[in-house]
Amino acid sequence: MSQDTIYFFWDCLQYLINGIAQGSLYAIVALGYTMVYGIIRLVNFAHGEFLMLGAFCGYFALKMNLPMPVAIIASMLGAGIVALIVERALYRPIRNEGRIPALITAIGASLFFQYTGQLIFGADPKTVPPVFTEVIFNFGEINVSNIQVFIFILTLFILLFLWWLTRFTKIGVAMRATSYNLKAAELMGINTNRIIAFTFFLGASLSGLAGILMGYTMSVEPMMGMSLGLKAFVAAVVGGIGVIPGAALGGFILGIAENMIAGVYKSSFRDGVSFFILILILLIKPSGILGKNVKEKV
């Protein structure tokens, strides 16, 4: 093997590591996307804005010299509470009016938060004060930062938590029941409005978490939710929308593919490759990699 080939191999491994770290963030956002879709079949285009608002909550918490765990909780709570308000005020009144009105409402909410965000916070990106030092571990020619490891482990923990929640807790099983048949769930005595609100809160708090982590590694700005929200949506569809492990898988696939293509070929193809994968999946298996072909309920 020539020297070049060996370096190429190391490079690819580095892109893979970076891809997994970035994919973790996509996965966390996609999980919320897919949970909300799963329960009321709503593509919540404002999901990315929950992320942005969560990121700002965390940013202000860190600005006030609060420790990182507090900032993370502030991000999650902030995003979650905004989601509760949006669900109650905008989505619930039109829940039975069909999908298109809900979709338009979601797009409207998304634009509202993007531009109100610019009005209030200003359009310039803000750097999050560094609260913990980045440590780089070297393994041969590859570098892994402690933040990357943290994000990856956090994602695995979230997946484990969601699995536990939906399998072994009453509210989790009720979420699955409501997502399958809302009226029947209501007949069981399940307050389905509350279950739906809880799902929004949970999904949005995850996006808020991703928001502060992303803000920490890059910056915080009012439009940050747009591209990440879109990527997370693609990840959720690629993995099979409504399926929790699918969202995580889709997130990792996208993160790895983007970093690979950017590293090996051209970085301008970074965003393109996600949508290329989306088109490919929609052609081959429209229900997504882990999605099941379910009949449309009538």
Partner 1 sequence: MSVEILEVKSINTYYGNIHAVKNVSFSVNRGEIVTILGSNGAGKTTTLHTISGLLKPTTGQILYSGKNIDQLPAHKITALGLAQSPEGRQIFANLTIKENLDMGAYLRSDKAGIKTDFDFVYALFPKLLDRKNQLAQTLSGGEQQMLAIARAYMSKPNLLLLDEPSLGIAPILVSTIFRAITEINKLGMTILLVEQNANLALKISHRAYVLTNGEVTLSGEARDLLNNPEIKKAYLGH
- Which residues make up the interface to partner 1 (CB under 8 A)? 170, 173-174, 176-177, 179-181, 183-192
Q: Could you tell me which of 119, 89, 105, 4 has the C-alpha nearest to residue 46?
A: 105
Structure tokens at 173: 């099983």
The least CB distance from residue 90 to partner 1, in Å, is: 21
The least CB distance from residue 155 to partner 1, in Å, is: 25
Is the Cβ of residue 48 or residue 242 nearer to partner 1 in the bound state?
A: 242
Q: How far apart are the two ends of the chain, measured CA to CA in Å?
A: 61
The least CB distance from residue 54 to partner 1, in Å, is: 30
> Is 178 in contact with 39 (CB distance < 8 Å)?
yes
Is the Cβ of residue 66 or residue 173 nearer to partner 1 in the bound state?
A: 173
> Is 95 in contact with 31 (CB distance < 8 Å)?
no
The least CB distance from residue 167 to partner 1, in Å, is: 9
The least CB distance from residue 152 to partner 1, in Å, is: 30
> Is 204 in contact with 41 (CB distance < 8 Å)?
no
φ, ψ for residue 145, nearest 5 deg? -90, 155
Is the Cβ of residue 64 or residue 184 nearer to partner 1 in the bound state?
A: 184
Is the Cβ of residue 245 or residue 263 nearer to partner 1 in the bound state?
A: 245
Distance CA 166, CA 31 (A): 13
Is the Cβ of residue 190 or residue 290 nearer to partner 1 in the bound state?
A: 190
Distance CA 41, CA 65 (A): 40
